[in-house]
Amino acid sequence: MMSHSHQGSYRWVIVAAGALMTCVALGAMFSLAIFQEPIALDTGWSHIGIASAMTLNFIVMGIGGFVWGAASDRFGPRAVVLVGAALLGLALVLSSRAVTLLQFQLTYGILVGIAASTFFAPMIAATTAWFDEHRGLAVSLVSAGMGVAPMTISPFARYLISAYDWRTAMLIIGIGAWVLLLPAALLVRRAPESADDDVGAAPVGGATAMGSLPAERGSARLSDVFRSPQFIVLGLTFFACCAAHSGPIFHMVSYATICGVAPMAAVSIYSVEGLAGLGGRLIYGSLADRVGVKPVIVGGLLIQAIALMGYLFVSRLGEFYALAIIFGSAYGGVMPLYAVLAREYFGQKIIGTVFGAATMLSSLGMAFGPLIGGWIFDHFANYSWLFIGSALVGLGAAAIALAFPPLPGERGRQVVGTAE
């Protein structure tokens, strides 16, 4: 058994390992944007053929997140992330040797997606188990790896491509993934059992009060969980939140270029958004620990919707930067908090499965945005309808979030209040 002080410090090792994993895995996956042009020039494969690997990534990642989340509940997070670390390196090494477009789509589009999905839901689930206080901040820090990825892996990929060629660059990143992630995966361990493990699961006997689950304490049947108002609201909010911002994020650089911003400066808007997302995770995560998760999610979703509408009125680089800070911090700050809600509603035993399922819905939301944005631009030759539509979906997400049932702790206080 770990001593209490050792347990207190070790939980931050879990956070650091989780942040490193999400950074390397998602950084490797999203670096396809950097590789696309060099691959097309070297191989003659079509841009849409190469980019379709990214669509495959999102679809596979969605399904994978659910499967791996469930696997981490059963076998523990270490086994899952070890498989993922081995697979990610292998996928990149194989992709770097692909001779045909189909081989590339299978290795990069499917294998990288499967590997990347092993880290997020299992590590977020593991982290929620280690923390009773500061849970919002801890989960936000693990997901901050996603925000760091565009500022680390992407420039590193760009440098390697310039120094060697795309195949060597991808090979080096694959070997680097093994070197960094296999040792990090060995650091991961289950949290010591605590009395809090079932907090958030339904009370014994399955009370019928609004917001509780029809199940024994901590052992809810999954069919009941996925039909519960908590899960339906969680899944729909997460889906609408991602559907609202994925199109604008993906098409932001081309929109800025159309507005007359120089191409290299337009790319820098991305970096500002990524940095803002990091700050947003810290601010929103800490706020959620202080004032509660629900009001912070609703507030963040409203800010995201207003920022999306704001893009209709900007055209200069400075204005793009200002909005990127507001928009990036809002969507970056809200994203990790869904895991905290899932933990508080459903308890620790099935968090991997539940959050994996919610992540699957969010990935579907992410997959639609770029396609719809492209369709809108092809038909209207501008992005106005993308931002109007996205803002409306964003407002819808905030409206759905208002329907979150009371949290177990809140319900307990309400029940106590009425009993006296």
Give the residue from 404, 389, 396 showing the smallest Cα distance to 246.
Answer: 389
List pLDDT tens digits, range 223-252.
889 999 999 999 999 999 999 998 888 788
Estimate the crossing angle of helix 120-130 against helix 77-96, to 10 degrees: 150
- Rounded to 10°, the helix 32-43/166-187 angle is 150
**Looking at this protein, which amino acid is placed at residue 100?**
T
**Regarding predicted confidence, which is higher, 212 or 280?**
280
Q: The pTM is what?
A: 0.77
Confidence of residue 121 (pLDDT cuts 50, 70, 90): confident
Name the band, by pLDDT with cuts 50, 70 and 90, for residue 396: very high
> How many CB atoms sit inside 10 A of residue 106's CB?
17
CATH (residue range 223-401): 1.20.1250.20
d(CA 193, CA 197): 7
Decide if 11-187 and 223-401 have a common fold. yes
What tens digit of pLDDT does each residue of 268-327 get?
A: 887 888 889 889 998 999 999 999 999 999 999 999 999 999 999 998 999 999 999 999
Q: Give the residue extent of every domain in the chain.
A: 11-187, 223-401
What is the distance between the terminal CA atoms of the chain, rounded to a whole angstrom?
Answer: 41
Token representation of residue 375: 């369709």
Tell me what pLDDT residue 410 has.
Answer: 54
Q: May I ask the CATH class of domain 11-187? A: mainly alpha
DSSP secondary structure of 297-365: HHHHHHHHHHHHHHGGG--SHHHHHHHHHHHHHHHHHHTTHHHHHHHHHH-STTHHHHHHHHHHHHHHH
The stretch 72-97 carries a mean pLDDT of 95
User: Under DSSP, is residue 383 helix (H, G, I), strand (E, B) or coil?
Assistant: coil
